[in-house]
Amino acid sequence: MLNTEHNHGHSVASLVAIWISLMSNIVLTILKIIVGILFNSPVLLADGFHNAGDVAASAAALTSMRISKRPADEDHPYGHGKAEVIGSGIVAIILGIAALYIAYESIMTFFEEPAKASVIALITAIVSLVWKQVLYIYTMRVGKKTNSKGLIATAYDHLADVYASLAAVVGIGLALIGDLYHIGFLSYGDPFAGVVVSVLVLRLAYEIGKESIDILMEKNVSHERLEEFAKLIRSFPEVKRIDRLRAREHGHYILVDVRVGVSGELTIQEGHDISSAIRNLIVKEHDDVDEVLVHLNPWYPDEN
């Protein structure tokens, strides 16, 4: 198993990051909806409802991360790591719905009289933009450090919010300029930016969803990663060939399955020692690998 203290430290860092994300989304949701209503800002109101979806996404990520940290048991001998992948998939679905909602609201605005822009709404959008950018950098850094799929998905959710807030800043800013200089068409910069943002958010949803499906379908890790494992296995002189090498992600950790050919004249004890040495080396060199299953096949010199 992974080093207990190392894993515990990563677990705490992940939970802190996801709690910060959850509380931030709640505050921003309330702020945007109140300002959007008081100052009649459709784009800020839409962004506020988008943030409401983020609250659900953060809650889903938090729940799945808590489940994924549970140790293996009789019913789940490989652990609960895929719970985090399911949470990541839920975030992707929420992002996709949010993207369609933003696109719908933006397109409908083209057919309505544009609302008068507000400086307060602009300031709120700028605060959201900066806040979400900081959250994205922080959450992504912790997510990559802990190899947390749920946290990385939450980071991309923050990035989608950065795009949405940027559109709100541009849209409200253009509307303010239009009001100031009596340039009517600038008021429609808001919905146009919203359509562009919806496409970007939908793309993020697709990428997160695809990765979640790949992991749930137990897709092999990258060829480069397999080569790293193979290099370590070949470093043992007792290993005459690699018959099969597979590895799959199981949430925040990796499971490796390898079949190697060793001398058929080795004793069971010698074969066991080689298997243990291979496993220990891979786990030592790759701290995100949680389990290595080594199967030994007999090899004889006349097979060459």
Domain harbouring 295, CATH code: 3.30.70.1350
Q: Are residues 160 and 293 in the same domain?
A: no
Q: Are residues 279 and 170 in the same domain?
A: no
Q: Which of 216, 232, 263 is the last residue of a domain?
A: 216
Q: Are residues 212 and 246 in the same domain?
A: no
Q: Are residues 257 and 120 in the same domain?
A: no
Pick from 45-54, 272-281, 294-303: least confident: 45-54
Q: In the predicted model, what is the mean pLDDT of residues 236-242? A: 94
Q: Which of 182, 197, 216 is the last residue of a domain?
A: 216
Q: Are residues 199 and 277 in the same domain?
A: no
- Residue 5: pLDDT band (50, 70, 90) is very low
| Better pLDDT: 290 or 241 | 241
pLDDT given at position 10: 56
Q: Are residues 212 and 227 in the same domain?
A: no
Domain count, the chain: 2
pLDDT given at position 148: 79
Task: Give the integer Cα–Cα distance in Å for 63 and 53.
Answer: 15
DSSP string, the chain: ---HHHHHHHHHHHHHHHHHHHHHHHHHHHHHHHHHHHTT-HHHHHHHHHHHHHHHHHHHHHHHHHHHTSPP-SS-TT-STHHHHHHHHHHHHHHHHHHHHHHHHHHHHTTSPPPPP-HHHHHHHHHHHHHHHHHHHHHHHHHHHHT-HHHHHHHHHHHHHHHHHHHHHHHHHHHHHHHHHT-GGGGGHHHHHHHHHHHHHHHHHHHHHHHHHHHHTTPBPPHHHHHHHHHHHHTSTT--EEEEEEEEE-SSSEEEEEEEEEETTS-HHHHHHHHHHHHHHHHHH-TTEEEEEEEEEEE-GGG-
Q: Are residues 133 and 10 in the same domain?
A: yes
Q: Are residues 148 and 271 in the same domain?
A: no
Q: Are residues 166 and 253 in the same domain?
A: no
- Whole-model pTM: value is 0.65
- Residue 303: pLDDT band (50, 70, 90) is low
Q: In the predicted model, what is the mean pLDDT of residues 270-284? A: 95
Question: In CATH, what number is assigned to the domain containing residue 178?
Answer: 1.20.1510.10
Q: Are residues 280 and 154 in the same domain?
A: no
- 274, pLDDT greater than 90: yes
Average pLDDT, the chain: 82
- Residue 261: pLDDT band (50, 70, 90) is very high
Backbone angles phi and psi of 72, in degrees to 5: -60, 145
Q: Which of 182, 216, 250 is the last residue of a domain?
A: 216
Each residue's pLDDT tens digit, 93-113: 887 888 888 788 778 877 877
Q: In the predicted model, what is the mean pLDDT of residues 167-196? A: 79
- 119, pLDDT greater than 60: yes
Domain containing 285 equals: 223-303
Q: Are residues 141 and 160 in the same domain?
A: yes
Q: Are residues 116 and 240 in the same domain?
A: no
- 3, pLDDT greater than 50: no
- 298 beta partners: 262
Each residue's pLDDT tens digit, 142-166: 988 887 777 888 888 888 888 888 8
